[in-house]
Amino acid sequence: MPVDLQLSEEEIIALLKERDPRGMRYLYDKFSAALFGIVFKIVPVQEVAEEILQETFVKIWQNFSSYDAKKGRLYTWMLNIARNLAIDKTRSTDFKNTTQTQNVDIFVHTTEAPESDTTNPEHIGLKEIVETLRVEQKELIDLIYFKGFTQAEAAEKLKMPLGTVKTRVRSAMTELRKLFQLT
């Protein structure tokens, strides 16, 4: 199924509910670059990010029956799966040990690797919309959603009460919803 063939979200969902592999191929072709960009922001190691992306699509295929269109859009559901897998990976002792013992040359190479236009969240419009938020909201969204911090970790890093973080994140998400409806 060529990626330039446009299917509606409802058509994609119908294919996936029928367990039609064409739906999964279309999903991968259309969304893998954007999901990889999000994963790579959290886990900036190419090979590990690629593994997480693969795990994401396996999990989407295996758990598609749990997707509920009433609770949100398909892309948001997939994004949460990818983000959660990436965050879980950063918290794993195996990942922490590996990254702590990495060779300096490898570390420099992976952190300075140029991001392609297709894997960078700026190119799917998300970063531009986040940039319109107030500074304190933007900072929290960046830490929590792009860098994988928990709300408690963000509160500690920014030296502010957890309740303040939760309130600001909630208001930022409300503002983002409004902005997404305008686009």
Q: What percent of the chain has pLDDT over 90?
A: 18
**pLDDT at residue number 134:** 87
State the number of CA atoms in the 13 A half-sphere of 64 facing the CB.
20
**pLDDT at residue number 140:** 87
CA distances from 132 to 125, 140, 172, 178 (A): 12, 13, 10, 12
What confidence category does residue 114 fall into, taking pLDDT thresholds of 50, 70 and 90?
Answer: very low
All structural domains of the chain? 1-119 (1.10.1740.10), 125-183 (1.10.10.10)
- Do 132 and 125 touch, CB atoms closer than 8 A? no
Interval 58-112: pLDDT, tens: 999 999 989 888 888 888 899 999 999 999 988 876 666 555 445 444 444 444 4
